[in-house]
């Protein structure tokens, strides 16, 4: 099916996945129409059936029977857009490089979001900021008493969800250290290259960018840390927002990626990989909770079926590679800790 013109999406400024996709559409020059709002309300108004959980962002595509369908989940949507429009792709043609990009995208979506959610609701100053700004993003004219009501309702619900991402008193220092390391690694990387894999962005850049829009631009604690540790990342987040004018350029070949990218992969291996593996093991055993050593401390959190699927998708992507491409991936991942994902 061709991409509707314009492609409508419903989302919020305080939603990292909305920002990921909006920047991606701009870079890809896909005509779009951004609807700021609650997908439930907007879809009801448009008379379009709702997905099981209408996440932010929700996209509206055409379906086979001449109707409209509401679709969520940014990663498969990115693939769908690549198939429909090959120009200005965000998935590399080289399958081995595409696999590394996929891993970076998954890390951005699933691990960096822990930074985002943790800092937003763990400390009082951040929770106070988000509690006020998020309801206003739905309606900037909201009356003061309604704003206070919405703030109380929303903050309580979100703080209650901290456990879903594994944020608690024990994991707080691990999350903080992991965020700071990523910023330092990105600072070093951006001295070499303007994007993760070369001179143009891949979907992995957009995933990490999406989370960083919030960490750098919305929540005060992680914003101060980013400004302290990585001026290049802060600037990159500003640039990523609109790359519609970036000239067509290239990714590097996998074998010539700088060590700074390998260091980022080693960070993924140090934190996200043990979490993915422990989560999958718990799901298999039917356990509702898991705990494992991450970065020298004990991480405890609820099992999360979606991340079980993420591990399955990473393995599927790897299995689809030719033997030669597997070898190329293996040699890049050797010693990073990410190789534990593959088999």
Ligand X SMILES: N[C@@H](CCC(=O)N[C@@H](CS)C(=O)NCC(=O)O)C(=O)O
Measured distance CA(80)–CA(203) in Å, rounded: 13
Nearer to ligand X, 94 or 241 (CB): 241
Nearer to ligand X, 108 or 198 (CB): 108
Helical H runs in the chain?
A: 16-28, 39-46, 74-84, 95-110, 112-122, 124-138, 144-160, 172-189, 203-217, 220-229, 231-240, 259-270, 272-284, 305-319, 323-333
Nearer to ligand X, 50 or 232 (CB): 50
Written as six digits, the tokens of 309 are: 């699927």
Written as six digits, the tokens of 161 are: 């969800």
Q: Report in angstroms how near the CB of residue 254 gets to ligand X at its nearest.
A: 25
Q: Report in angstroms how near the CB of residue 337 gets to ligand X at its nearest.
A: 23
Q: Report in angstroms how near the CB of residue 83 gets to ligand X at its nearest.
A: 18
Nearer to ligand X, 75 or 171 (CB): 75
Nearest to 127 by CA among 14, 230, 231: 14
Measured distance CA(157)–CA(131) in Å, rounded: 10
| Cβ neighbourhood burial of 99 (10 Å; 0-12, 13-18, 19+) | buried
> 5 φ, ψ to 5°?
-125, 110
- Residues engaged in binding ligand X (CB under 6 A): 15-17, 55-56, 72-75, 109
Q: Report in angstroms how near the CB of residue 126 gets to ligand X at its nearest.
A: 16
Q: Report in angstroms how near the CB of residue 9 gets to ligand X at its nearest.
A: 10
Nearer to ligand X, 89 or 137 (CB): 137
Q: What is the DSSP letter of 287?
A: -
Q: Report in angstroms how near the CB of residue 317 gets to ligand X at its nearest.
A: 16
Nearer to ligand X, 109 or 187 (CB): 109
Q: Report in angstroms how near the CB of residue 117 gets to ligand X at its nearest.
A: 9
> 290 φ, ψ to 5°?
-140, 160
Measured distance CA(193)–CA(258) in Å, rounded: 9
Nearer to ligand X, 75 or 233 (CB): 75
């Amino acid at each position: 099916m061709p991409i509707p013109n314009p492609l409508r999406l419903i989302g919020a400024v305080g939603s990292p996945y909305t920002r990921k996709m909006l920047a991606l559409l701009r870079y890809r020059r896909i005509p779009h129409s951004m609807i700021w709002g609650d997908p439930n309300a907007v879809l009801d108004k448009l008379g379009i059936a709702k997905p099981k959980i209408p996440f932010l962002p929700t996209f509206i595509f055409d379906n086979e029977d001449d109707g409209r369908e509401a679709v969520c989940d940014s990663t498969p949507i990115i693939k769908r857009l690549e198939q429909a429009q090959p120009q200005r792709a965000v998935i590399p043609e080289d399958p081995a490089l595409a696999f590394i990009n996929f891993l970076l995208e998954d890390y951005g979506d699933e691990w960096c979001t822990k930074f985002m959610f943790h800092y937003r609701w763990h400390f009082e100053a951040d929770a106070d900021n988000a509690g006020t700004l998020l309801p206003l993003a739905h309606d900037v004219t909201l009356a003061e008493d309604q704003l206070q009501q919405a703030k109380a309702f929303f903050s309580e619900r979100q703080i209650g969800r901290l456990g879903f991402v594994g944020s608690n008193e024990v994991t707080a220092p691990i999350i903080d250290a992991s965020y700071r390391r990523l910023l330092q690694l990105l600072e070093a990387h951006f001295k070499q290259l303007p994007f993760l894999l070369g001179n143009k962005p891949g979907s992995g850049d957009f995933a990490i960018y999406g989370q960083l829009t919030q960490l750098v631009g919305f929540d005060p604690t992680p914003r101060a840390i980013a400004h302290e540790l990585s001026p290049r990342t802060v600037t990159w987040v500003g640039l990523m927002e609109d790359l519609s004018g970036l000239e067509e350029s290239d990714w590097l070949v996998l074998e010539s990626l700088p060590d700074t990218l390998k260091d980022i992969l080693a960070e993924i291996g140090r934190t996200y990989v043990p979490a993915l593996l422990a989560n999958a093991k718990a799901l298999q055993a039917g356990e509702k909770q898991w705990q494992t050593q991450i970065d020298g401390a004990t991480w405890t959190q609820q099992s999360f079926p979606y991340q079980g699927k993420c591990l399955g998708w990473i393995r599927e992507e790897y299995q689809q590679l030719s033997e030669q491409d597997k070898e190329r991936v293996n040699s890049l991942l050797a010693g990073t800790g990410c190789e534990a994902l593959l088999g």
